[in-house]
């Protein structure tokens, strides 16, 4: 059986704006984690990758946690048939608040 090709990462246009509230020094870390964690089994539950119980208003079904103290949250959905992962939002968790693109969400 031939190995499956990796999933293609598709970033929503608004993700660029979400990154503006994150220090630039973390951009590479976030990109590396997205590629490492979501390229082959994006819908497998791990310690830092979980399905959302309460979907954020972004239509995301999954969450990936990464960075120092798992402060960064990447929200995404998976299309297995098209072998695509759509990155819908990237946010920063601070205590019981989630900040996505400068907008606060209560958790």
Position 104 confidence tier, pLDDT thresholds 50, 70, 90? confident
Given the candidates 3.30.1300.10, 3.10.129.10, 3.40.50.300, 3.30.2310.20, the CATH classification of the domain at 8-106 is 3.30.2310.20
Q: Which residues on adjacent β-strands are paired with residue 100?
A: 103
pLDDT digits (tens, 9 = 90+) for 48-78: 999 998 766 678 899 999 999 999 999 999 9
Phi, psi (degrees; rounded to nearest 5) at 97: -120, 145
pLDDT at 18 over 80: yes
Q: What are the residue ranges spanned by the domains of the chain?
A: 8-106
What CA–CA distance (Å, rounded) separates 103 from 58?
A: 13
């Amino acid at each position: 059986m031939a190995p499956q090709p990796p999933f293609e990462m598709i970033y929503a246009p608004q993700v660029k704006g979400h990154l503006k509230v994150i220090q630039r020094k973390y951009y590479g870390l976030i990109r590396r984690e997205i590629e490492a964690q979501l390229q082959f089994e994006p819908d497998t539950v791990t310690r830092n990758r979980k399905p959302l119980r309460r979907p954020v208003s972004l239509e995301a079904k999954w969450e990936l946690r990464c960075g120092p103290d798992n402060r960064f949250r990447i929200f995404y959905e998976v299309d297995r048939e098209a072998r695509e992962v759509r990155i819908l939002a990237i946010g920063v968790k601070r205590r019981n608040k989630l900040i996505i693109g400068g907008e606060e969400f209560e958790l």
